[in-house]
């Protein structure tokens, strides 16, 4: 409510100022700005023919100038301490959390919530001043009971709210190894919670440990709030995952990224690959909760382009991006457009092809195939699932060849392996978790 | 006698114990009831305060929604254009979807003439029935379902500081923000609004609606996951294991929030999972609108306080019982030892007396024989022999007393009736005692008026008189005279004989008069008195008198009388004919 009212006013003041600054110090300004790239995979299309085209809209966070000048973090670590976490698992989880908190300092705020059948606030939201007392509190967490995941996340988010600020990286890091069995437990309910938290600028990173957790729920929760997701099979690896996660948290440069894509001139949006999006008429909107320093995040929009005459140019989409720059603490806007040219010359079409963008598009399309395959496998259609993956593999293969892309070749191998793995009944649980995590990473360009 | 003592002791133990048990148990039960009642009240108020908190949450939401709706209306100039509403939805964490119905009941948002996004489509699908019946959003129709009008004033009465202040600041800021408006607060009061709990997606969907100033109905569908999350955040979290600062209530209880599908949504407190899963909740409180189908369950862990109460009572009673029994046992042992000692003493005296009796009889026999054989002129020897005889007589009376006493203890006193004259018998005794008393300067004055021949036990009468007279000898030596009067009286065909023995010694105090008859009691125990005695004489005398259906009493002299001294009155039944029945009458 506040931001909505205040930002236009702020903007009015700051924009001229910002522009002045921009013209004076272009180098600095650029360094502290998110870069927007809109790449049409096929900038030149065959005329007299309708096309499916992929547009890659990518954003890259600027480099953090100074490691010391990072954005303060407001992190809630939500640890599963249900009975299944007993033994080494909880020990590793504790140590992982402690190792991760070691990276924070007094600018940051940390809280630790543990849950079994009930929820305990182990460390209420507090500035990271006295590391040792936080560690001691964490070391007191012992495994026992059921899994009240929903309440755990709720309480974790509540701890964040005590210091909630748009100028902080607000994040719940949820670690769970089991099915939520106390309180809401469906993926959609958790997703809804995630969506609500995202609206407040809180993202939830979910770390699934072992083979017992619900990967749909975990990816959904992370997906709706644009957090990270990881599958950790062995508890020993928790520490490194936590390290990656905190690395991400500490390198956030922009938050609240809204991407609005408007299709022009009769171009129809078909789907946005990779992320949750809203398509209303010719308007596609999606949202990233944050951008990390020097990490590229992109979405692939698939559109249908109507027949055009040769040698014409057509604006396909106009892109508007708004985000909250955490360094300047301003709401900033970026815009761009994608223009296609139509030609009858096949060569021209081929020569103009943007291999990088197409590679990304193919990757995402194959990722969608992979998702479909899981759905098919879930509904019991083993053969169908297999076929989808095989089709995906051959699609990847042919594209890899034409683009001479080792990445796609790799993905093709993966798809083939996955197709084989569908058969093995015992390993499916693990396979599915791996697949889900991989799909999630690919779709959100998660770094680890 | 032997069995009575333990019985009395047992009663002495049992009675207070039983009383204590009764009171203790009653007290404990009362205490329990009171505790249970208090606990119940406490639980109820605790649950109600939670419900109250939830109501406050909804009230705050309502306040916020009303303000937001006003802002939205103002921003869009009453048009509710799609962009603005969508932006609003995109920013409001608590709201899942918004709908706007025009005055005519037409849907303005989600728009009917524009493409909808997926969420809006789903929402329209789910609420088709609701939205097609705009009469649901009239105050009158809502009245029975929405107790908001009731809860609002109740809310104001609550002094939950945090929320109150939150609400105040909320309203203050809202006033500041909307002060340009004519009178926002007043309008807010007028605004018809209400909550609807709508079943959708197999779950409860809370919708808040209000009517704006143009007559449009604006509805806010809550994000139900978020609602639950917020409600959970209103509730306390559980204590961290190993944390010493857990409140008492936390330790002993668990409260669960159960949703409309009967599923556990959240629980806190310290109840063990398994126990609470099986047992029934101590109390259940259904929540108020708009989460009516939800309820709170209160589970109490077994109350250790009550058990310690019982334990305390039982240890107390046990301790008391043990100490009382010990005391009683000790008393009983003392008592029985005394009895045994007394019995041994009596036995000993008895045996000694028996042993003495035979030689004494010989001594008396030979003294008498010697007296007869002795020449008249041997005056000194005669006198000596007289002393020996009387002392031997006294000794034999003493022994007779002891033997009679022990016999009476053993087998009761028996009476042998023989015909004779009472006066004659008395005269014999007086004659016997005259020399003994004269040595002590006592003179017997005998007035005999009981001359009738009758049946009585002469030996018993002699013994009684012996005892009375030897008492006079011992205690009333300085009284000079001992008066003995006897008379007879016939009442309703039975002849009674009365003998009064009075002395002029120091007399007997009232306190002493009953004790005198108790065995082994002696009027004076002081050795300096130079008085010897066994203390059984008077008791035995009275026993004999009573066995004779009479009595022996100490007569109280009027206090104004000048002369002192004791007066004993002996009464005896002395029938004229042979009393056959009386011969074998057993005595007590």
Q: In the predicted model, is pLDDT for residue A225 greater than 70? A: yes
Q: What is the pLDDT of residue B420?
A: 86
Q: In the predicted model, is pLDDT for residue B532 greater than 70? A: no
CA–CA separation, A429 vs A440, rounded Å?
17
Of B92, B96, B232, the CB nearest to A151: B232
Which phi and psi (to 5°) does residue B188 adopt?
Answer: -60, -40
CA–CA separation, B387 vs B392, rounded Å?
8
Contacts of A183 in chain B (CB under 8 A): 228, 232, 263-266
3-state class (DSSP) for residue A277: strand
User: Model confidence over B192-228: pLDDT tens digits?
Assistant: 888 888 776 667 788 888 888 888 888 888 888 898 8
User: Model confidence over B435-454: pLDDT tens digits?
Assistant: 878 888 888 888 888 888 88
Residue listed under structure tokens 């939201």:
A125
How buried is residue A149: exposed, middle or buried, by Cβ count under 10 Å (0-12/13-18/19+)?
buried
Nearest to B17 by CA among B313, B310, B311: B313
CB contact under 8 A, B223 and A117: no
Tokens of A125: 């939201």
Residue listed under structure tokens 């190792």:
A99
CB contact under 8 A, A154 and B117: no
Of B116, B223, B264, the CB nearest to A196: B223
Distance, in angstroms, between A115 CA and closest chain B CA? Answer: 9
Q: What is the pLDDT of residue A171?
A: 93
- The residue of chain B nearest to residue A286, with distances taken between CA atoms, is B90
Q: What is the pLDDT of residue A13?
A: 53
Percent of chain B exceeding pLDDT 90 equals 3
| Secondary structure E strands in B325-442 | 418-421
Q: What is the pLDDT of residue B291?
A: 81
Q: In the predicted model, is pLDDT for residue B146 greater than 80? A: no
Residues B419/B453, Cβ–Cβ less than 8 Å = yes
Compute the CA torsion angle B401, B402, B403, B405 (nearest 10 deg): 80
User: Model confidence over B520-530: pLDDT tens digits?
Assistant: 776 655 544 55
CB atoms closer than 10 angstroms to residue B229:
27
Tokens of B117: 């996004």
Which phi and psi (to 5°) does residue A262 adopt?
Answer: -110, 125
CATH of A71-250, one of 3.40.50.970, 3.30.1020.10, 1.10.760.10, 3.40.50.410: 3.40.50.410
Distance, in angstroms, between A329 CA and closest chain B CA? Answer: 19
Does ipTM surpass 0.95 in this model? Answer: no
Q: How confident is the model at residue A301 (pLDDT cuts 50, 70, 90)?
A: very high
Q: What is the pLDDT of residue A22?
A: 43
Q: Which CATH class is domain A33-66+253-353?
A: mainly beta
Residue listed under structure tokens 């042919």:
A398
- The residue of chain B nearest to residue A149, with distances taken between CA atoms, is B266
CB contact under 8 A, A120 and B237: yes
CA–CA separation, A147 vs B363, rounded Å?
113
Residues A111/A126, Cβ–Cβ less than 8 Å = yes
Residue A35 neighbours by CB under 8 Å, 6+ apart: A59, A60, A62
How buried is residue B372: exposed, middle or buried, by Cβ count under 10 Å (0-12/13-18/19+)?
exposed
| H helices present in B412-535, as ranges | 422-438, 458-475, 510-515
Give the range with max mean pLDDT: A104-118, B28-42, B176-190, B401-415.
A104-118
Could you tell me how far CA A237 lies from the centroid of its own chain? 21
The per-residue b/e assignment along A231-248, b for 16 or more CB within 10 angstroms, e otherwise, is bbeebebbbebbbbbbeb
Which phi and psi (to 5°) does residue A446 adopt?
Answer: -70, 140
Distance, in angstroms, between A235 CA and closest chain B CA? Answer: 23
Q: How big is the CA angle at A363 (ends A174 and A436), to the nearest 5 degrees?
A: 30
Task: Characterize the bridge pairing of strands A51-60 and A35-40.
Answer: antiparallel
CB contact under 8 A, A280 and B273: no
CA–CA separation, A223 vs A206, rounded Å?
9
Overall average pLDDT of the B135-139 stretch? 64
Overall average pLDDT of the B523-542 stretch? 67
Tokens of B146: 């929405």
Q: What is the pLDDT of residue B2?
A: 57
CA–CA separation, B495 vs B530, rounded Å?
41
Distance, in angstroms, between A23 CA and closest chain B CA? Answer: 32
Residues A89/A324, Cβ–Cβ less than 8 Å = no
CB atoms closer than 10 angstroms to residue A30:
11
Compute the CA torsion angle B331, B334, B339, B345 (nearest 10 deg): -160
Contacts of B264 in chain A (CB under 8 A): 182-183
Q: What is the pLDDT of residue A68?
A: 67
Overall average pLDDT of the A127-136 stretch? 90
Q: What is the pLDDT of residue A302?
A: 93
Q: What is the pLDDT of residue B587?
A: 41
Q: In the predicted model, is pLDDT for residue A252 greater than 70? A: yes
Q: What is the pLDDT of residue B211?
A: 85
Q: Using a CB–CB cutoff of 8 Å, tell me whether A154 touches chain B.
A: yes
Q: How big is the CA angle at A410 (ends A406 and A415), to the nearest 5 degrees?
A: 145
Q: What is the pLDDT of residue B183?
A: 36
Whether the bond between B110 and the residue before it is cis, its omega within 30 degrees of 0, is yes
Overall average pLDDT of the A107-123 stretch? 90
Q: What is the pLDDT of residue A294?
A: 86
3-state class (DSSP) for residue A356: helix
Nearest to A205 by CA among A179, A243, A174: A174
Compute the CA torsion angle B330, B336, B341, B344 (nearest 10 deg): -150
Query: A16 vs B503, which has greater pLDDT?
Result: B503
Residues B403/B350, Cβ–Cβ less than 8 Å = yes
Q: Which residues of B touch A (CB under 8 A)?
A: 68, 71, 87, 90-94, 96, 114-119, 223-226, 228-230, 232-233, 237-243, 263-269, 273
Q: What is the pLDDT of residue A397?
A: 92
User: Model confidence over B392-415: pLDDT tens digits?
Assistant: 888 888 888 888 877 777 777 778
CA–CA separation, A352 vs B395, rounded Å?
159
CB contact under 8 A, A120 and B238: yes
Q: In the predicted model, is pLDDT for residue B141 greater than 50? A: no
- The residue of chain B nearest to residue A159, with distances taken between CA atoms, is B233
Q: How big is the CA angle at B82 (ends B80 and B84), to the nearest 5 degrees?
A: 70
Q: What is the pLDDT of residue B243?
A: 47
Q: In the predicted model, is pLDDT for residue A65 greater than 50? A: yes
Overall average pLDDT of the B317-341 stretch? 89
Strand partners for A78: A113, A174
Overall average pLDDT of the B114-124 stretch? 82
Q: How confident is the model at residue B75 (pLDDT cuts 50, 70, 90)?
A: confident
Site from A199, A201, A320 to mutate, B interface, most B CB atoms within 10 angstroms: A199
Q: Which of A107-121, A186-200, A350-364, B469-483 has the lowest mean pLDDT?
A: B469-483
Q: Which of B105-119, B125-139, B255-269 has the lowest mean pLDDT?
A: B125-139
Tokens of A254: 């922009």
Distance, in angstroms, between B95 CA and closest chain A CA? Answer: 8
Q: What is the pLDDT of residue A170?
A: 92
CA–CA separation, B396 vs B151, rounded Å?
109
CA–CA separation, B201 vs B196, rounded Å?
15
Site from A81, A183, A203, A260 to mutate, B interface, most B CB atoms within 10 angstroms: A183
Radius of gyration of chain A (CA): 23
Q: How confident is the model at residue A88 (pLDDT cuts 50, 70, 90)?
A: confident
Give chain B's largest Cα–Cα span: 172
Which phi and psi (to 5°) does residue A312 adopt?
Answer: -115, 160
Q: In the predicted model, is pLDDT for residue B142 greater than 80? A: no
Whether the bond between B290 and the residue before it is cis, its omega within 30 degrees of 0, is yes
Contacts of B256 in chain A (CB under 8 A): none
Contacts of A120 in chain B (CB under 8 A): 237-241
Contacts of B299 in chain A (CB under 8 A): none
CA–CA separation, A313 vs A320, rounded Å?
21
CB atoms closer than 10 angstroms to residue B387:
13
Contacts of A1 in chain B (CB under 8 A): 68, 71, 91
Residue B495 neighbours by CB under 8 Å, 6+ apart: B452, B454, B488, B489, B573, B574, B575, B576
CB contact under 8 A, A193 and B87: no
CA distances from A432 to A214, A231, A375, A429, B72 (A): 10, 10, 11, 5, 45
Percent of chain B exceeding pLDDT 70 equals 79
CATH 3.30.565.10 fits B412-583, yes or no: yes
Q: What is the pLDDT of residue B586?
A: 42
Q: What is the pLDDT of residue B72?
A: 87
Of A145, A184, A279, the CB nearest to B228: A184
Distance, in angstroms, between A362 CA and closest chain B CA? Answer: 26
Sorted by where each begins, the domain ranges of chain B are 4-232, 412-583
Site from A5, A113, A114, A119 to mutate, B interface, most B CB atoms within 10 angstroms: A119
**Mean model confidence pLDDT for chain B:** 77
């Amino acid at each position: 409510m506040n931001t909505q009212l205040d930002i236009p006013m702020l903007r009015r003041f700051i924009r001229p100022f910002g522009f002045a600054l921009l013209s004076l110090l272009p180098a600095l300004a650029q360094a502290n700005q998110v870069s927007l790239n809109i790449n049409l995979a096929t900038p030149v299309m065959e005329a007299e023919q309708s096309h499916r085209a992929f547009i890659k809209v990518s954003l890259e966070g600027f480099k953090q100038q100074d490691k010391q000048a990072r954005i303060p973090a407001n992190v809630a670590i939500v640890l599963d301490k249900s009975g299944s976490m007993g033994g080494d698992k909880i020990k590793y989880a504790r140590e992982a959390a402690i190792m991760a908190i070691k990276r924070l300092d007094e600018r940051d705020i940390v809280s630790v919530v543990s849950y079994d059948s009930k929820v305990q606030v182990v460390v209420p939201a507090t500035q990271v001043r006295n590391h040792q007392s936080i560690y001691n509190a964490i070391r007191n967490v012992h495994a026992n009971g059921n899994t009240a995941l929903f309440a755990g996340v709720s309480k974790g988010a509540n701890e964040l709210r005590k210091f909630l600020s748009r100028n902080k990286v607000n994040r719940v890091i949820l670690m769970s190894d089991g099915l939520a069995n106390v309180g809401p437990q469906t993926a959609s309910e958790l997703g809804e919670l995630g969506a609500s938290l995202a609206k407040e600028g809180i993202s939830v990173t979910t770390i699934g440990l072992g083979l017992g957790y619900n990967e749909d729920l975990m990816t959904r929760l992370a997906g709706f709030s644009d957090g990270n997701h990881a599958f950790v099979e062995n508890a020993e690896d928790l520490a490194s995952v936590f390290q990656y996660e905190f690395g991400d948290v500490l390198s956030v440069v922009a938050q609240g990224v809204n991407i609005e894509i408007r299709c022009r001139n009769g171009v129809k949006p078909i789907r946005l690959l990779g992320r949750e999006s809203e398509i209303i008429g010719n308007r596609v909107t999606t949202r990233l909760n944050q951008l990390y320093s020097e990490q590229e995040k992109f979405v692939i929009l698939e559109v249908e382009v109507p027949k055009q005459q040769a040698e014409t140019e057509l604006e396909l989409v106009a892109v508007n991006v708004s985000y909250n720059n955490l360094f300047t603490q301003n709401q900033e806007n970026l815009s761009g457009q994608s223009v296609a040219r139509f030609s009858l010359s096949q060569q021209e079409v081929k020569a103009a092809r943007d291999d990088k963008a197409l590679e990304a598009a193919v990757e995402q399309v194959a990722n969608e195939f992979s998702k479909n395959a899981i759905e098919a496998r879930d509904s019991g259609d083993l053969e169908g699932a297999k076929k989808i993956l095989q089709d995906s593999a051959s699609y990847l293969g042919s594209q890899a060849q034409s683009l001479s892309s080792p990445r796609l070749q790799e993905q093709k191998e993966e798809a083939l392996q996955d197709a084989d793995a569908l058969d093995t009944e015992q390993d499916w649980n693990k396979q599915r978790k791996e697949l889900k995590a991989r799909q999630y990473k690919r779709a959100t360009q998660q770094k680890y | 006698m032997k069995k009575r003592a333990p019985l009395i002791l047992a009663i002495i133990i049992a009675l207070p114990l039983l009383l204590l048990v009764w009171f203790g148990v009653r007290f404990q039960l009362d205490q329990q009831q009171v505790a249970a009642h208090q606990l119940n009240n406490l639980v109820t108020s605790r649950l109600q305060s939670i419900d109250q908190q939830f109501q406050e949450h909804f009230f705050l939401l309502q306040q916020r929604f009303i303000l937001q709706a006003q802002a939205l209306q103002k921003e869009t100039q009453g048009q509710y254009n799609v962009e603005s509403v969508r932006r609003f939805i995109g920013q409001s964490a608590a709201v899942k979807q918004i709908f706007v119905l025009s005055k005519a009941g037409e849907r303005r948002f989600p728009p009917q003439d524009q493409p909808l996004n997926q969420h809006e489509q789903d929402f329209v699908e789910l609420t088709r029935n609701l939205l097609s019946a705009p009469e649901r959003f009239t105050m009158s129709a809502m009245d029975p379902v929405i107790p908001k009008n009731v809860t609002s004033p109740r809310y104001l009465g609550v002094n939950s500081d945090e929320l109150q202040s939150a609400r105040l600041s909320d309203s203050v800021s809202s006033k500041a923000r909307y002060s340009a408006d004519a009178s926002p607060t007043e309008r807010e009061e007028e605004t018809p609004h209400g909550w609807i709990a709508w079943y959708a997606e197999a779950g409860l969907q809370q919708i808040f609606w209000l009517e704006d100033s143009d007559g449009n109905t604006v509805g806010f569908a809550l994000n139900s996951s978020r609602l639950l999350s917020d409600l959970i955040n209103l509730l306390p979290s559980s204590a961290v294991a190993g944390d010493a600062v857990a409140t008492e209530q936390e330790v002993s209880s668990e409260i669960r929030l159960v949703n409309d599908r009967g599923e556990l949504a959240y629980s806190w407190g310290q109840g063990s999972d398994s126990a609470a899963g099986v047992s029934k909740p101590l109390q259940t409180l259904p929540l108020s609108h708009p989460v009516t189908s939800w309820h709170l369950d209160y589970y109490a862990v077994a109350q250790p306080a009550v058990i310690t109460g019982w334990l305390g009572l039982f240890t107390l009673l046990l301790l008391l019982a043990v100490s009382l029994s010990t005391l009683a046992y000790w008393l009983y042992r003392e008592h029985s030892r005394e009895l045994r000692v007394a019995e041994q003493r009596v036995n000993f005296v008895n045996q000694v007396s028996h042993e003495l009796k035979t030689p004494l009889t010989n001594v008396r026999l030979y003294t008498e024989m010697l007296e007869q054989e002795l020449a008249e002129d041997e005056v000194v020897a005669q006198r000596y022999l007289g002393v020996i005889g009387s002392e031997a007589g006294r000794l034999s009376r003493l022994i007779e007393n002891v033997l009679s006493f022990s016999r009476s203890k053993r087998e009761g006193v028996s009476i042998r009736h023989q015909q004779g004259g009472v006066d004659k018998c008395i005269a014999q005794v007086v004659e016997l005692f005259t020399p003994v008393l004269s040595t002590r300067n006592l003179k017997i004055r005998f007035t005999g008026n009981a001359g009738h021949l009758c049946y009585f036990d002469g030996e018993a009468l002699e013994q009684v008189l012996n005892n009375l007279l030897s008492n006079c000898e011992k205690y009333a030596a300085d009284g000079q005279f001992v008066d003995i009067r006897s008379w007879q009286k016939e009442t309703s065909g039975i002849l009674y004989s009365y003998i009064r023995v009075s002395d002029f010694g120091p007399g007997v105090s009232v306190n002493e008069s009953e004790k005198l008859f108790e065995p082994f009691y002696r009027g004076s125990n002081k050795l300096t008195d130079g008085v010897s005695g066994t203390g059984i004489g008077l008791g035995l005398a009275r026993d004999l008198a009573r066995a004779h259906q009479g009595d022996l009493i100490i007569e109280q002299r009027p206090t104004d009388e000048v002369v002192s001294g004791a007066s004993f009155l002996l009464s005896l039944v002395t029938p004229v004919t042979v009393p056959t029945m009386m011969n074998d009458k057993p005595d007590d």
